[in-house]
Amino acid sequence: MKTSFMEKTFISVIYLILTLLTLVTLYPVVYVLFASVSDSTLLLQNSGLLLRPLGFQFGAFNMVFKHPLILRSYGNTLFVVIVSLLINMLLTCLAAYVLSRKKFRYKAQFMVFIIFTMYFSGGLIPNYINIRSLGLLDSYWALILPTAINSFNLIILRNNFESLPDSLIEAAEIDGANDYHILFIIIIPLSKAVLAVITLYYMVGHWNSWFSAMIYIQDRAKFPLQLVLREILLIGDTSNVVTDIGDSSAARESVKYATIVIAIVPILCVYPFLQKYFAKGTLIGSVKG
Amino acid sequence: MKTSVEPTSNNTMKVSSNAFKTAMKDLSVNRNLYIMLFPVVLYYLLFCYKPMYGILMAFHDFKPSKGILGSDFVGIKHFINFFSSYNFTMVVRNTLLINFYDILFAFPAPIILALMLNEVQNARFKKICQTITYMPHFISLVVVCGIIKNLTESDGLINDIIVFMGGERTSLLLRAEYFRTIYISSGIWQHIGWGATIYLAALSGIDQELYEAAQIDGASRFKQIIFITIPSIMPVIFIMLILRVGSIMNVGFEKIILLYNPATYETADVISSFIYRKGLLEFNYSFSTAVGLFNSVINFILLLSTNHLSRKFNQMGLW
Amino acid sequence: MSVKSIKKGFFFMVGLLMAATIISGCANRGGDNQKSTSSQAITTPIGQYPIETEETLTYWGVLNTNTAKNYTNFADTPIGKELEKKTGVTVKYIHPAQGQQQEQLNILLASNDYPDIIESNWTSGYPGGAEKAIEDGIIIPINDLMKFSPNYERELSGIPGLDKMARTDSGKYYVYATIRKNYEESIFWGPMFRKDWLDDLGLEPPTTIDEWEKVLIEFRDKKNATAPFAVRANQANGSMLLYGAIVGAYKTELSWYTDNDKIYFGPYDPQYKDFLAIMARWYKQNLLDKDFPMADKKSIESKVLSGKSGAFIGLIGSEMGTYLRVMQEKDERFDLIGAANPTLSKDEESFSGAANLPFYYYFAAAITTHCKNPELAARWLDYGYTEEGAYINNFGVENESFVIEDGVLRYTDTVINAPVEENMLARYDRFNGPYVALILPATSEQTMLPQQIQAREAFKKNMPVYRGYPPLTFTVEESERLSNIMNNINNYANEMRTKFIMGTEPLENYDKYIEQLKSMGIEEAVKIQQDAYIRYQNR
């Protein structure tokens, strides 16, 4: 083929760019990893690139696990993420399905009903008062229920459901399938890729969230991991002093990074499992443009 | 089950009892759909619409002991305060510019990454590449900003490169003219892989037969991208773009606060950091609600108009 | 999976969701109802502990970062347990997330449902000040409760001028603040130098601005320091730690200060220009850290430990102490020395300095309007001002963390000899709250390095008079006006200071800057402050 030289260059350029990009985006991760096993003092003295651990040690991880809250908050986060995900996926699928059906009469109205909430909200205080009046204050449900549906994810999922061929659904309806059947047995298996993305979005959202916990959770034993992580990262920036006591524990700088490592490892492990759904050709049949 | 969707003309004047009848009829015909929708509607009513009376705070002088509705009504005083404040034009300009450049550079970046990954045949390389580019998204902003500070310091790596190329050492974060560049490029660096996931999912849905047919016709790889791949993921791109434009007045304040300093206020101070200082830290809720409402209204209008335009020219929209 | 089972499952989930909402709702409401039992009279005589009561108190306050390394709740700490034992009152502590306390407090206040006691900065932290917090119906004045707090009352009259600081203009007492008994000893920060460098170069710690410049030049040229003088500048409310030490040489301050019965705004002073000039010169000559507007505690630490900086303004404990202990292992010669703030000529006294008020109001406990039993709260809070209570709050548990031998209080070996990671000293210190804060020479000797003690002595020279901001009170209109003006001005003054020093704004434009301050209303702000200051003096 005469284009083969062009094609080869084209592909090589893509490989080159991707390799560079991979190296560049790898750096922050490597930085955190190396920093977590480095000697704190050497770490502070160092100012350039961090290309290897400085004075190898694992003391930071020891200290992290000794922290009174980290392991506990890990469990809290896991609980909240798992329960949230179940509710999220169920409700989002239901809503997306209904809003994707042509036969549903008030589709446009409901879309506006939903999109409106993406832009207008009561704000912090009324939300807080609402949660309190529902009796959810200081409970895990305050972290789970208010985020039961994310409108952004709902829209993405609905658009995906909508793009599935009508003929599939029509055929099922002629066979006598009802809406639950169509959703759970026909549509969901066909939308694995986008469902994987949505799951990921929800999961990461819950995993990283700290703001609602900061507002609604008072009992420190119920803090999620990210809130504890923030406290550790921001330690030592207090400007008011009554009695100024020295904090000379040698590992304090690397402890910050060790905490980050243990906070991101689980979420990184999830990706490869979801990745397989992004392989080509999961969808059988044609796609409507 | 038989559906009865009769095309109703919008021009017909409908009496409300008629509308009610239609609704009841629809309710009985599509009972399952309404049952499915019930918990969803419940959620939105309970957690989104119920607290929405809080918007009224923008028109009151909120006092905790009096409650939101019991506080003194002050009309648009807070809006006037905002519009006439010393840095109003500056924060609005900065917010819009950061978002404009962000849409220009950071929005297409994950799409390009996804397209490039799609061309890679080596499954292993592709997997590694995907996983790694996706990782920085999870590193706390505090740490990422720490790394950015490290790299841009007067004796940091970027300055070493500048000096090597014959430039002069400067602390880059102290130069107002570089703030947006640093902000946006670091944003791409952190989120490109994460942003690409949605496009990768869309790419996975493309019918392989289309490519086979194109290959038989002798279309080059590049042509296949232009004529098959991009059109196939266009709906996703448009949805994302419409949603992105609808948040043009938003910039996360956290990263701004971590990166800005008095020397770069003129390009770095945005509406959200302004609200943060005024509202949450200075206990001026009514004021910050007013600014937030102003923001939301503009965003919402922009969303409605992009959606309208998109429907008009692409037959695609959110609704 | 059959359609029916899916259908069932779906209904089940919906039902579950709703049930969960309702159940958790009821459960918590039940809890709320329990609270409102009527309080019985306390029979224990005033000033006697333990108090006999069944009732509990709720207490909102920040858990100190040092304490949080080992405990999740103050009630679990040795001090918390000891306090409960001695006072006989069970207290439920609610701690906000660190670093977010202001946001969290504001939400709590706005929601109109408060715990019994809130520990915060009621004097200058609440917009509009204490008088406004009382008017807004958040906290109550404690004048009528003073009879239940004889020890606090005694402490307030123990130090001249203290009583005045604790009241508002209209004479209301409103908080139980930290009282620094020996506040002359409460010196925490000042200029510090690399002693080993000074020795190598045959230099003495500098005392004047000219000497400083000489030392910094030597550091730059002979010690290859790339940022000889490192300062922290971008800290929103910690302006004392900035180049405060330098600005004092020019007889002004970085913010509001008092001088001879008058109140001034430093960045509006004519002599402030001279300060900017010297800083700009140092910046230009690479004597001042080039990255100074972004500097924070960590970056200063990094510059000092890596030998890029030889002079900095630091804290005696968490900076000097840490650097010395950490570097002792790596580099035996590394040494630091503290020096008094510089002046323009040898025989002057520094204008600005490290002196503190005996009334420390940043972590002061106020009783809220929602408190069911203010008498109990007042009695319980008073314990921190008894001798026994003060010892517990400062030094922990007697015979466990401290002993009193021949009338001298000393730490026990368990505390002193524990490895640093055990964080022992911090476990037995409350750090902040409503009590008498003590600094005792004997314990200082036990816990401090000789360099730290030397530094504190050196910093004592800094300033005999407290020139900082007294706890003024404003009327509601005044405070609204003042915050409107000052928010903009502070931002602008910060921005311009940075630009003048970096040279991006030439100093010739100083007059323009002053004009701009005027147009932003600085004169009015000064007048409001002055009026409040006169009222304060007349209390």
Nearest CA to C248 out of C360, C359, C340 is that of C340
Helices assigned H by DSSP within A101-150: 107-119, 124-133, 141-144
Q: What angle do CA B303, B304, B309 make, to 5 degrees?
A: 95
Looking at the complex, does the CB of residue B27 fall below 8 Å from at least one CB of chain A?
no
Q: Does B125 sit within 8 Å of A15, measured CB to CB?
A: yes
- B residues 29-88 near A, CB within 8 Å? 30, 32-33, 36-37, 39-40, 43-44, 46-55, 57, 62, 68
262-281 in chain A: CB under 8 A from chain B: 263-264, 267-268, 271-272, 275, 277-281
**pLDDT higher at A74 or B17:** A74
Nearest to B158 by CA among A24, C102, C396: A24
Asked whether C286 and C226 are in contact (CB, 8 A), the reply is yes
Q: Which residues of A touch C298 (CB under 8 A)?
A: 44, 236, 253
* Mean pLDDT to the nearest integer, C364-378: 94
**Residues 6 or more apart whose Cβ sits within 8 Å of residue C490:** none
State residue A235 phi and psi, 5-degree precision. Answer: -60, 145
* Angle, helices A4-36/B179-204, rounded to nearest 10 degrees: 120
Q: Which residues of B touch A156 (CB under 8 A)?
A: 198, 236, 239
Q: How close A186 gets to chain B, by Cα (Å)?
A: 16
What DSSP character marks residue C254?
S
Find out whether B227 and B211 touch, Cβ atoms under 8 Å. Answer: no
Place of tokens 């010892």: C391
Strand pairing class (C117-120; C189-194): unpaired
Least confident range of A99-103, C166-170, C306-310, C484-488:
C484-488
CB proximity B222 to A under 8 Å: yes
- Give the C-alpha separation, C288 to C310, whole Å: 11
Q: Give the per-residue pLDDT at C197.
A: 96
- Which domains are present in chain C? 56-184+358-403 (3.40.190.10), 189-354+467-537 (3.40.190.10)
Task: Quote ipTM for the complex.
Answer: 0.86
Bigger pLDDT: B170 or A134? A134
Is the pLDDT at A247 greater than 50? The verdict is yes
Cβ contact A105–B3 (<8 Å): no
CA A255 to chain centre: 23
CA B176 to chain A, closest CA, distance in angstroms equals 23
C258-292 burial string, b = 16+ CB within 10 Å, else e?
A: beeeebbbbbbbeebbbbbebbbebbeebbbbbbb
C-alpha A122/C-alpha C448 separation (Å) is 52
Sheet-wide strand order for C336-338? C229-230, C311-315, C189-194, C336-338
What is the band of C239 on the pLDDT scale with cuts at 50, 70, 90? very low
CA dihedral A64, A68, A69, A72 (to 10 degrees): 100
Q: Give the gap in angstroms from C-alpha B89 to the nearest C-alpha of chain A.
A: 22
The pLDDT assigned to C93 comes to 95
A8 Cβ contact partners less than 8 Å away, ≥ 6 residues apart: none
Instruction: List Cα–Cα distances, A227 to A6, A233, C119, in angstroms.
Output: 52, 10, 21
Q: Return the pLDDT at C29.
A: 41
Does residue A281 come out as left (phi exceeding 0), alpha (psi in the -120 to 50 range) or beta?
A: left
- A210 has a chain B CB within 8 A of its CB: no
| pLDDT, tens only, C285-338 | 999 998 888 887 778 888 898 899 999 988 888 788 888 888 877 788 999 999
Instruction: Name residues 105-134 of chain A within 8 A of B (Cβ).
Output: 105-108, 110-127, 129-130, 134
Is the pLDDT at A84 greater than 80? The verdict is yes
Identify the weakest region by mean pLDDT among B103-117, B214-228, C429-443, C451-465: C451-465
Backbone angles phi, psi at C190, to 5 degrees: 170, 180
Give the span between the Cα atoms of B230 and B249, in whole angstroms.
28
* HSE-CB of A111 using CA atoms within 13 angstroms: 21
Give the integer Cα–Cα distance in Å for C171 and C476. 16
Q: Compute the nearest-CA separation of A237 from chain B (Å).
A: 13
Convert the pLDDT of each residue in C242-251 to its tens digit: 556 788 888 8
Element (H, E) at C119: strand C117-120
Q: Do A22 and B234 touch (CB under 8 A)?
A: no
Residue of B nearest to C135 (CA): B65
Instruction: State the Cα–Cα distance between residues C192 and C195, nearest whole angstrom.
Output: 9
Structure tokens at C528: 């409001």
Instruction: Please give the mean pLDDT across all residues of chain A.
Output: 83
pLDDT at C353: 65
Length of chain B: 319
Parts of chain B belonging to CATH 1.10.3720.10: 78-314
Token code pair at residue C184? 């002359």
CA-based nearest residue to B203, from A277, A61, C209: A277
pLDDT of C44 over the 90 cut: no
* Cβ-based contacts of C70 with chain A (< 8 Å): 68
Q: What distance in Å separates the CA atoms of residue A111 and residue A109, rounded to the nearest whole number? A: 5
3-state helix vs strand vs coil in chain A, percent to 5: 70, 0, 30
Interface probe with B: pick from C290, C294, C370, C520, most Cβ of B within 10 Å = C294
C-proximal residues of B, 147-176, CB under 8 Å: 149, 153-155, 169, 171, 173-174
Across the range A190-211, mean pLDDT stands at 89
Q: CATH assignment of A67-234, given 3.20.20.140, 1.10.3720.10, 3.30.2310.20, 3.40.50.1980?
A: 1.10.3720.10
Answer yes or no: CATH 1.10.3720.10 is held by domain B78-314.
Answer: yes
Q: In angstroms, what separates the C-alpha of A124 from chain C's closest C-alpha? A: 7
Which residue has 């609905």 as its token pair? A158
Chain position carrying tokens 């959810």: A136
Residue C176 backbone dihedrals phi, psi, to 5 degrees: -100, 100
pLDDT digit string (tens) for B138-190? 887 878 888 888 888 887 888 888 888 888 888 888 888 999 999 999 999 99
In the predicted structure, residue A234 carries a pLDDT above the cut 80 = no
**Domains of chain A, residue spans:** 4-60, 67-234
A104-136 as b/e: b if 16+ CB within 10 A: bbbbeebbebbbbbbbbbbbbbbbbbbbbebbb
Instruction: Determine whether the interchain pair C299/B149 forms a contact, defined as Cβ–Cβ distance below 8 Å.
Output: yes
Q: Which residues, at least 6 apart from C487, have a Cβ–Cβ distance to it below 8 Å?
A: B277, B278, B282
Q: What is the 3-state secondary structure (H, E, C) of chain B?
A: CCCCCCCCCCCCCCCHHHHHHHHHHHHHHCHHHHHHHHHHHHHHHHHHHHHHHHHHHHHEEEEHHHEEEEEEECCCHHHHHHHCCCCHHHHHHHHHHHHHHHHHHHCHHHHHHHHHHHHCCCHHHHHHHHHHHHHHHHCCHHHHHHHHHHHHCCCCHHHHHHHHCCCCCCCHHHCHHHHHHHHHHHHHHHHHHHHHHHHHHHHHCCCHHHHHHHHHCCCCHHHHHHHHHHHHHHHHHHHHHHHHHCCCCCCCHHHHHHHCCHHHHHHHCCHHHHHHHHHHHCCCHHHHHHHHHHHHHHHHHHHHHHHHHHHHHHCCCCC
- According to DSSP, residue C48 is labeled -
The pLDDT value recorded for residue C16 is 47
B261 contacts C498? CB cut-off 8 A = yes
Question: What is the mean pLDDT of the segment spanning A36-51?
Answer: 77
Evaluate whether C102 touches B280 at the Cβ level (below 8 Å): yes
Query: Low-confidence residues of chain B, pLDDT below 50?
Result: 1-14
Calculate mean pLDDT across residues C193-219.
95
Phi/psi for C534 (5° steps) reads -65, -45
Could you read off the pLDDT of C472-516 as tens digits, one per residue? 888 878 888 888 888 888 888 888 998 999 999 999 999 999 999
- List the one residue out of C522, C469, C475 whose CA is nearest residue C121: C469
| Token pair 């986060």 in the structure block, residue | A77
**Dist CA B196 CA C187 (whole Å):** 55
Chain A residues in contact with B50 by the CB 8 A cut-off are 122, 130
Phi first, then psi, for residue B186 (nearest 5°) are -70, -30
Length of chain A: 289
Q: What is the pLDDT of residue C103?
A: 81
pLDDT (0 to 100) of residue A3: 59
